Amino acid sequence: MTSHKTIHKLLVANRGEIAERIIRSARALDIATVAVHSEPDTHALFVDAADEAVLLPGAAPSDTYLRADLIIEAAVATGADAIHPGYGFLSENAGFARACADAGITFVGPPVEAIEAMGSKIAAKELMEKAGVPVLPGATIDDAEEIDAPAVSAMADGIGYPLLVKAAFGGGGRGMRIVRSAADVVEAVTGARREAASAFGNSTVFMERFVEDPRHVEVQIFGDTHGTVVHLFERECSIQRRYQKIVEEAPSPAVDDALRAQLGDAAIAAGAAIGYTGAGTVEFVMAQNGEFFFLEVNTRLQVEHPVTEEITGLDLVALQIQVAEGEPLPAEATNVTITGHAIEARIYAEDPTAGYLPGSGILHRFRIPDLPGVRVDTGVRDGSVIGTHYDPMLAKVIAHGRTRSEAARKLARALSEAEIHGLVTNRDLLVAILREPEFLAGKTDTGYLSRHEPATLVGTPASTAVAVHALVAALAGQAARRGTATVQRPVPTGWRNVASAPQHAEYRLGDTEIDLTYRVTRTGVQAAVDGTPLTGVEVVTSRPDLVDLRVDGVRRAVRIHAVGDTVYCDSVLGGTAFVERPRLPEPGTDAAPGSLLAPMPGTVVRVAAEQGQRVEAGAVIVVFEAMKMEHSVRAPVAGIVAELAVVVGETVESGAVLAVIEDEEEGS
């Protein structure tokens, strides 16, 4: 039993939305807060939210948020008597938890022994098997071992295919590969080890039997220092891309009361086996027949904890703090019930139709409508800079409803009305998932996005939306120009008493070129997009930020946000981002034919070809790392590597030429 110790000042050893989330709960408990931050995060939302802040010099996580020594120094310097690690970074680092104890600082998390027990997925699996929790067969390749191709192949053959190669220390999809044949296993292990070493500082991986298209179901557990361990029901986290969750919900639509009791009992047994205290999550893979197998224990708060909070009415961060102070779990946690349904969607700066390629840049606008039953956890705001050093998640949007259908509808509406400008995001994919029949029927598993290609789910913008928004972009631009005119400001630009040629504008929407002609008349607007007329156009209001117009008798208001040459249009038709084409483009801006360009800033980790080498279409030429993931740049056609412009370790900017491939057909 632990005596009570009041926490007066809490240092949050994390960043982004989870740091802001922790600060919010600490303030409600009248606990002073300290933020630590890297140089790129100097003006971040969570830094402003904290009472005090300490700079960690540098940008890379290894120089900042992974520096336990600097974080302990910041706690001592500010008089913080407790540290909350959030999730990721040092949250499951037993050495950090021990360093906190050595410094006399309360670690808001489980005991060091529990973190150590679960820090190795291999040891955790063995421990769970002894505790009677179902596990999958597997094998381990230690950090110190050299890759022995025959031995690796033999181990894989013994497990059977398909199998999963996974980093033993870490998570979030990094250092993870699915292998379906013996021919691919050595390359998968090699790549997973390299990625694991980069992300977690340890290249140990293990292989285990892969359950095809299972559900990913996890159980929230909570323990206190008085020997009580409870479960707070399950979460369904099956919809994932690149092994990372994007839609989570509670409770699971596939779990009935009997199965819920079995899952809960297994999770409590897992927690009891390691003497767990605080918030933790026991993750399971669940086959279609309802059988479930232990995956891992996350000895920290999960990203998706808000859905549990919404259905239970509990503040899990506040509970973490109270348990760390030595308080027993309150009755509302030990006698918890489920109320309604909650669904969470993670908004990422990424392009789902381009292999979920993460993006970086300035977030010019970030607005989620304030709707009843909708919660937004975010660490960004208008003007935030999204860099390449950290995870590209912008926000979590959570909806709670009486039923699953109601929660899905609320969330879809909130996301569809969101204004997110400056970066490509997965917002449209999330909306499409929430409105898709299979999802609404609760038939989700980890193969969902394999069956439903993002490009198909999202589709292309409707012709009506493109046409109306293109005209609106032009009218808003016209209004902006008239607003700065020095003479005849009320007269629309291009006005003629005697009609002559119409006005003309050219836009680019993604890879699509759009040609717009329009003329303002006494009775309305005559317009055509790519030669197709828009009929019955009447302008009700035309401002630089809002155009309200009727087209064929249907009135719609379109919100406008112009940033440089880009015009963002948001309405009931959806969101579009037009780039106005310059009339006189600068010369020399085109790369040489056959150039392979970096799709985003990153660091080259492997050059897989040599100058002069013949390569097939699709062959990997360069592998670079950005936002904690590896990305392969492949040859678009068969040909000769005429030029290699980068070397391993080199940092490249978005659009940089990595290599040049000479097309064989063109060269013959």
Tokens of 7: 């926490």
Give domain 215-458's CATH number out of 3.30.470.20, 3.30.1540.20, 3.30.420.40, 3.40.50.740: 3.30.470.20
Tokens of 135: 């596990």
State CA 358 to chain mean position distance.
9
Separation between Cα atoms, residue 582 and residue 408, nearest integer Å = 42
CA–CA distances in Å: residue 236 to residues 316, 392, 439:
18, 22, 12
Separation between Cα atoms, residue 468 and residue 358, nearest integer Å = 29
pLDDT at 668: 46
Tokens of 315: 């503040």
Evaluate whether 25 touches 50 at the Cβ level (below 8 Å). no
Give the CATH number of domain 595-667.
2.40.50.100
Residue corresponding to tokens 């070809």 = 609
Tokens of 660: 């040049």
Tokens of 177: 């590969």
User: How many CB atoms neighbour CB 513 within 10 A?
Assistant: 11
CB-neighbour burial class of residue 380 (10 A; exposed 0-12, middle 13-18, buried 19+)? buried
Phi/psi region, residue 86 (left: phi>0; alpha: psi -120 to 50; beta: rest), is: left
Q: What angle do CA 34, 37, 43 make, to 5 degrees?
A: 100
H or E element at residue 84: strand 82-84
Count helices and strands (H / E) in the chain: 19, 39
pLDDT, tens digit (0-9, with 9 covering 90-100), for 571-607:
999 999 999 986 555 554 556 677 888 877 788 889 9
Output phi, psi for 595, to 5 deg. Answer: -70, 135
Please state, rounded to an integer, the average pLDDT across all residues of the chain: 91
Instruction: Return all residues near 17 (Cβ < 8 A) that are at least 6 apart.
Output: 46, 377, 378, 379, 380, 393, 395, 396
Separation between Cα atoms, residue 279 and residue 585, nearest integer Å = 56
Instruction: Return all residues near 262 (Cβ < 8 A) that are at least 6 apart.
Output: 292
State the span(s) of the chain assigned CATH 3.30.1490.20: 137-209
Cross-strand bridge partners of residue 559: 546, 570
Please report the DSSP string for 499-535 in residue order.
--SPEEEEEEETTEEEEEEEEE-SSSEEEEETTEEEE
Helices marked H in 435-568 — which ranges? Answer: 437-440, 448-451, 454-458, 463-483
DSSP state, residue 18: H
**What residue type is assigned to position 73 of the chain?**
E
Give the CATH number of domain 137-209.
3.30.1490.20
pLDDT, tens digit (0-9, with 9 covering 90-100), for 509-568:
987 899 999 998 888 899 999 999 999 999 999 999 999 999 999 999 999 999 999 999
Q: Topology of 463-580 in CATH?
A: Glycoprotein, Type 4 Pilin (3.30.700)
Q: What angle do CA 271, 247, 354 make, to 5 degrees?
A: 125
pTM listed for this prediction: 0.83
Cross-strand bridge partners of residue 525: 520, 537
Evaluate whether 200 touches 174 at the Cβ level (below 8 Å). yes
Q: Is 27 an active-site residue?
A: no
State CA 152 to chain mean position distance.
33
State the span(s) of the chain assigned CATH 3.40.50.20: 9-108
Among residues 215, 300, 346, 519, the one annotated as catalytic is 300
Evaluate whether 317 touches 109 at the Cβ level (below 8 Å). no
User: How many CB atoms neighbour CB 503 within 10 A?
Assistant: 16
Evaluate whether 397 touches 368 at the Cβ level (below 8 Å). yes
pLDDT at 492: 56
Residue ranges of the chain whose pLDDT lies below 50: 588, 667-668
Tokens of 1: 């039993």
Evaluate whether 108 touches 225 at the Cβ level (below 8 Å). no
pLDDT at 112: 96
Instruction: Return all residues near 445 (Cβ < 8 A) that are at least 6 apart.
Output: 213, 214, 215, 238, 288
Tokens of 371: 């709707």
Q: Topology of 9-108 in CATH?
A: Rossmann fold (3.40.50)
Tokens of 603: 């660091």
CB-neighbour burial class of residue 271 (10 A; exposed 0-12, middle 13-18, buried 19+)? buried
Separation between Cα atoms, residue 82 and residue 37, nearest integer Å = 17
Cross-strand bridge partners of residue 36: 54
pLDDT at 78: 98
Closest CA to 656 of 622, 611, 628, 605: 622
Evaluate whether 573 touches 469 at the Cβ level (below 8 Å). yes
Evaluate whether 361 touches 386 at the Cβ level (below 8 Å). yes
H or E element at residue 124: helix 121-130
Separation between Cα atoms, residue 441 and residue 249, nearest integer Å = 14
Express the helix, strand and coil content of the chain in percent, nearest 5 each.
30, 35, 40
Tokens of 522: 């006494």
Tokens of 234: 């399950």
Contacts 24+ apart (CB under 8 A), 30-34: 31/7, 31/321, 32/8, 33/9, 34/9, 34/10, 34/74, 34/75, 34/78, 34/80
Closest CA to 66 of 47, 42, 85: 85
Evaluate whether 595 touches 526 at the Cβ level (below 8 Å). no
pLDDT, tens digit (0-9, with 9 covering 90-100), for 127-145:
999 999 989 888 888 887 8
State the span(s) of the chain assigned CATH 2.40.50.100: 595-667
Q: What angle do CA 530, 416, 233 make, to 5 degrees?
A: 150
Distance in angstroms between the alpha carbons of the first and the last residue of the chain: 80
pLDDT at 583: 56
Evaluate whether 625 touches 652 at the Cβ level (below 8 Å). no
Separation between Cα atoms, residue 471 and residue 478, nearest integer Å = 11
Separation between Cα atoms, residue 215 and residue 213, nearest integer Å = 7
State the span(s) of the chain assigned CATH 3.30.470.20: 215-458
Cis peptide, bond prior to residue 61, ω within 30 of zero: no
